[in-house]
Amino acid sequence: MTTWVLTDQPSAPALTPYDLRCEHLVAPLGIGTDRPRLSWRLASPVRGDRQDAFRVRLQRDDVQVWDSGWRTEEQTYVDHGGAPLTSLTDYVWRLEVRDAAGKVCEASTTFATGIFHPEEWQARWIEHDYDTDPYFEPPVDRKEPRSERSATLAAPRYYRRSFELAKPVARARVYATAHGLYQLNANGQRVGMDELTPGWTDYRYRLAYQTYDVGDLLREGENVLGAVLGEGWWSGYVGWDTRSQAHHYGKKPQLLAQLVVDHADGSRTVIATDSRWVERTGPLRFADLLMGESYDARLELGDWSSPGYDATDWAPAGDVGADLSTLVAASAEPVRVTEDLPAVKVEPRDPGRYIVDLGQNIAGRVRLRVRGAQNGDRIRLRHGEMLESDGELYTANLRTADATDYFVSAGGAEEYFEPMFTVHGFRYVEIDGYPGELTTADVTGRALHSNTPVAGRFECSDAGVNQLLSNIRWGQRGNFVSVPTDCPQRDERLGWTADAQIFLPTAAYQADVLTFFGNWLGDLAVAQTDEGAIPDVIPHLITGRHGTPAWADAATIVPWTLYRTYGDERVLRQAWPTMRRWVDYVHQANPDLIWRNRTSGHYGDWLQVGVRTDRDVLATAYFARSAELTAAAARVIGLDDEATAYGELRERIGAAFVREFVDAEGKVRGDTQTGYLLALAFGLLPDEFEQAAVKHLVADLERRGRSLTTGFAGVALLCPILAKYGHVELAYDLLHDDRYPSWGYSIRHGATTIWERWDGWTEENGFGPVAMNSFNHYSLGSVGAWLYGDVAGIDQAEDSVAFRELVIRPRPGGRLTWAEGAYDTPTGRVSTRWEIADGTFTLDVVIPPGATATVHVPTSDAESVRESRQSVAEQDGVEQLESADRALVCRVSSGRYSFTAQA
The DSSP letter of residue 883 is E
DSSP string, 751-786: -SS--SSTTSEETTTEE--GGG--S---GGGTTHHH
Backbone angles phi, psi at 787, to 5 degrees: -65, -45
Min dist CB 395 to ligand RAM, Å, is 17
CB within 8 Å of 343: residues ≥ 6 apart: 356, 357, 358, 359, 440, 441, 442, 443, 444, 445
Could you tell me which of 360, 493, 402 has the C-alpha nearest to residue 774? 493
Candidate residues 23, 49, 99, 499; the one interacting with ligand RAM per rule CB under 6 A: 499
Pattern 755-774, binding to ligand RAM, x per CB under 6 A?
-----------------x--
Note if 756 is an active site residue: yes
**610 residue type, one letter:** G
Residue 750, Cβ density class (10 Å: 0-12 exposed, 13-18 middle, ≥19 buried)? exposed
Q: Which is nearer to ligand RAM, 606 or 743 (CB)?
A: 606
Candidates 391-399, 490-498, 565-573, 838-846; binding stretch for ligand RAM (CB under 6 A): 490-498
Candidate residues 393, 498, 571, 754; the one interacting with ligand RAM per rule CB under 6 A: 498
Min dist CB 748 to ligand RAM, Å, is 23
Contact between 792 and 832 under an 8 Å Cβ cutoff? The reply is yes
Candidates 197-205, 485-493, 725-733, 787-795; binding stretch for ligand RAM (CB under 6 A): 485-493
Contact between 442 and 373 under an 8 Å Cβ cutoff? The reply is no
Task: Based on the shown chain and the rule CB under 6 A, indicate whether residue 834 belongs to the binding site for ligand RAM.
Answer: no
Q: How far apart are CA 882 and CA 50, in angstroms?
A: 25
Min dist CB 779 to ligand RAM, Å, is 6
CB within 8 Å of 157: residues ≥ 6 apart: 128, 228, 229, 253, 279, 280, 281, 282
Q: Which is nearer to ligand RAM, 405 or 499 (CB)?
A: 499
Q: Which is nearer to ligand RAM, 458 or 606 (CB)?
A: 606
Min dist CB 12 to ligand RAM, Å, is 45
User: How many residues at the interface with ligand RAM, by CB under 6 A?
Assistant: 10
Q: Which is nearer to ligand RAM, 173 or 424 (CB)?
A: 424
CB within 8 Å of 785: residues ≥ 6 apart: 505, 506, 509, 716, 720
Contact between 767 and 397 under an 8 Å Cβ cutoff? The reply is yes
Q: How far apart are CA 130 and CA 254, in angstroms?
A: 12
Catalytic residue among 756, 820, 835, 867: 756
Min dist CB 603 to ligand RAM, Å, is 5
Residue 632's SS3 state is helix
CB within 8 Å of 453: residues ≥ 6 apart: 26, 333, 511, 512, 824
Q: Which is nearer to ligand RAM, 127 or 385 (CB)?
A: 385
Candidate residues 304, 603, 646, 661; the one interacting with ligand RAM per rule CB under 6 A: 603
Backbone angles phi, psi at 502, to 5 degrees: -70, -35
Q: Which is nearer to ligand RAM, 152 or 471 (CB)?
A: 471
Task: Based on the shown chain and the rule CB under 6 A, indicate whether residue 496 belongs to the binding site for ligand RAM.
Answer: yes
Residues 350-369 that bind ligand RAM (CB under 6 A): none
Buried b (16+ CB within 10 A) or exposed e, 117-142: eeeebebbbbbbbeeeeeeeeeeeeb
Backbone angles phi, psi at 812, to 5 degrees: -60, 150
Q: Which is nearer to ligand RAM, 612 or 886 (CB)?
A: 612
Task: Based on the shown chain and the rule CB under 6 A, indicate whether residue 442 belongs to the binding site for ligand RAM.
Answer: no
Candidates 373-381, 494-502, 666-674, 819-827; binding stretch for ligand RAM (CB under 6 A): 494-502
Contact between 816 and 858 under an 8 Å Cβ cutoff? The reply is no
Helices assigned H by DSSP within 174-269: 232-235
Q: Which is nearer to ligand RAM, 576 or 758 (CB)?
A: 758
Residues 273-302 that bind ligand RAM (CB under 6 A): none
Q: Which is nearer to ligand RAM, 39 or 773 (CB)?
A: 773
Could you tell me which of 570, 660, 584 has the C-alpha nearest to residue 615? 660
Task: Based on the shown chain and the rule CB under 6 A, indicate whether residue 486 belongs to the binding site for ligand RAM.
Answer: yes
Q: How far apart are CA 593 and CA 712, in angstroms?
A: 24
Catalytic residue among 333, 385, 492, 835: 492
Q: Which is nearer to ligand RAM, 496 or 761 (CB)?
A: 496
DSSP string, 425-436: EEEEEEEES--S
Question: What are the catalytic residues?
Answer: 492, 756
Binding-site ranges for ligand RAM (CB under 6 A): 486-487, 492, 496, 498-499, 603, 606, 772, 777
